[in-house]
Amino acid sequence: MGYVDEVLAKVKEKNASEPEFIQAVQEVLESLKPVIDANEEVYRREALLERLVEPDRQFKFRIPWVDDKGQVQVNVGYRVQFNNSIGPYKGGIRLHPSVNIGIIKFLGFEQVLKNSLTSLPIGGGKGGSDFDPKGKSDREIMAFCQSFITELYKYIGADVDVPAGDIGTGAREIGYMYGQYKRIKGLYEGVFTGKGLTYGGSLARKEATGYGLLYITQELMKKHGESMEGKVVAVSGAGNVATYAIQKAQQMGAKVVTCSDSTGWIYDPEGIDVALLQEVKEVKRARLTEYAKARPSAEYHEGKGVWTVKCDIALPCATQNELLIDDAKALVANGVKAVCEGANMPTTIDATKYLQENGVWFIGGKAANAGGVATSALEMTQNSERLSWTFEEVDAKLQQIMVNIFHNIDDAAKRYGMEGNYVAGANIAGFEKVANAMLAQGVC
C-alpha cells in the first residue's frame, strides 16, 4: 500500500464518526499523490502526512447562558487549532445546530491549505458551537457570545489564534465576542477579524469572500477566452458569501437568476435584486418567501432546486454537501461551463469528479473562497499598523491576491501533469508551502 493510502486508512479508522473530516482528508490526500510519491522517502520518515492530518490541539467546552425566560441553556463549544507552521491559527466560528467536532475538524483542515494559498502568514484553525442564532433576541445572542468567550479567551490572542465569522457568526456576534474578550483580558488587540469599522474592522472584509469568488471566476473565464459579460449565473445561499457574490457578478455584467436558504430557493429570471435580498435576509432576518412576495418576477420553490436551472456558471455559496451527483448531472445537461465554490466543500467528491470528467472548469472552495480569509489577514495587518486602508486599497489587494491564487493553482496543476485540474492545483500549491515549513521546523 502506498503512503497516501496507508495514512488514509488510519484516518478512517481513527475518525470513523467524523464523515466530513474523512471526506476532506480523502479529497486532499488523493489529489496530492503525485507530490507525495515524488518525495515519499522524506515524508514517510518525517511522518509528514500523519502530522498534517492530526490537529495541534482541540478544545471542547460547555457554554451555559440564560434565555429571555430566565431558563438556563447549555451548548457545546469547539476550537480546533490545526496547524500554525506558517502563522497564527486563523479561521472562523460557525454557529449552527449541525456543528460537531467532525465538521469543525474538516473546516480546520481545509483552512490550513486555504490560508497557505493566500500567500499571507496565517495558519489554520476553526471553531464553533451547536448554538442556533435563529429566532434568538439580541440579548440572548449577547449572553451566548459572552459565555462562549469566557471559555475561549484562554486559547486565543492576536499572535496565537485569531477567530472570525462563518455561518451564523456575522458582525453582531463578532462585536459581542470581541467586547467580552477585551473586558476579560483588558487588552485592545486584533484578536478577531470581521470586526465593525469603528473598532478595528477592515473596509471590504464584509464583501471579500463573495467578491473574491468572482475575481477568481473572472480570471478562470479569461484563461478560457471568455468573460463574465452576459453570462447566466446560478447562486445558492442567501447569506454573506452569496449576497456579495451576486452583487459582484452583476457588476461584471452577468445575470444571477437564483439564490436559496435552508428552506427554499428563488428563481428570478430578471436577475436577483441584491438590495431586496439584503433587506429580507440581513435586516429582517426573514425567509426568502418575503423576497418573492415583494418581487413579481420571482418564483419561490420549497426545498432544493437551484442546480436544475439552466446557467453558464454555478456558484454554490451555502454550506457543505449541497451539490450532489444528480445536481452535477443536471448542470452538465444544461450546459454549465464553470463551477466555483463560494462555500466550503459544497460539492461532494463524486459530483466534483463528474463535473471535471465532463469538461466543466471547476475551482474548489479552498482557492475560490480564500478572499475572505485573505482580507482577514489584511485586517490583521491594518490592526498591527494601527492604520485603516481605504475600500479601494483593500479591494485592489484582494483582487490581486485572487488573480495570483488562480495562476498559482493553474501552474501547480501543470507542474504535475494535471493541467486544468484546479482542485489538485490548489491542494498542491497550498500543501507545498505548509510541508516545507513543517520540515524546516523539525519534529513538532
Contacting positions for ligand NDP (CB under 6 A): 165-168, 209, 237-242, 261-262, 281, 317-319, 342-344, 369, 372
Question: CB-based contacts of 102: which residues, under 8 Å, 6+ apart?
Answer: 15, 17, 18, 19, 20, 21
The span from the CA of 167 to the CA of 145, in Å, is 14
Which residues belong to the active site? 126
- Of 36 and 111, which CB lies nearer to ligand NDP in the complex structure? 111
**CA angle (191 as vertex; 138, 373 as ends), nearest 5:** 90
| Helix residue ranges per DSSP H, 118-200 | 138-152, 171-185
C-alpha cell at 128: 464553533
Strands 57-66 and 313-316: unpaired
Q: How far is CA 346 from CA 7, 58, 183, 394, 418, in A?
A: 24, 24, 37, 27, 23
Taking the complex as a whole, the smallest distance from the CB of residue 420 to ligand NDP amounts, in Å, to 24
Sheet holding 161-164, edge to edge: 57-66, 72-83, 124-129, 89-95, 161-164
**Cβ 224 to ligand NDP shortest distance, Å:** 25
Rounded CA-CA distance 402/397 in Å is 9
Amino acid in position 279: E
Measured from the CB atom, the residue of 211 and 416 that comes closer to ligand NDP is 211
Q: Closer CB to ligand NDP, residue 123 or residue 239?
A: 239
- The residue among 291 and 416 lying less far from ligand NDP, judged by its C-beta, is 291
Nearer to ligand NDP, 90 or 231 (CB): 90
Please, what is the minimum distance in Å from the beta carbon of residue 360 to ligand NDP? 20
**Among all residues, whose Cβ is closest to ligand NDP?**
239
Cβ proximity to ligand NDP: between 87 and 237 the closer is 237
> Taking Cα atoms as reference points, which of 373, 338, 366 lies closest to residue 220?
338
State the Cα–Cα distance between residues 285 and 240, nearest whole angstrom.
12
Residue 94 C-beta: closest distance to ligand NDP, Å? 7
CB atoms within 10 A of CB 198: 7
Least separation in angstroms between residue 128's CB and ligand NDP is 10
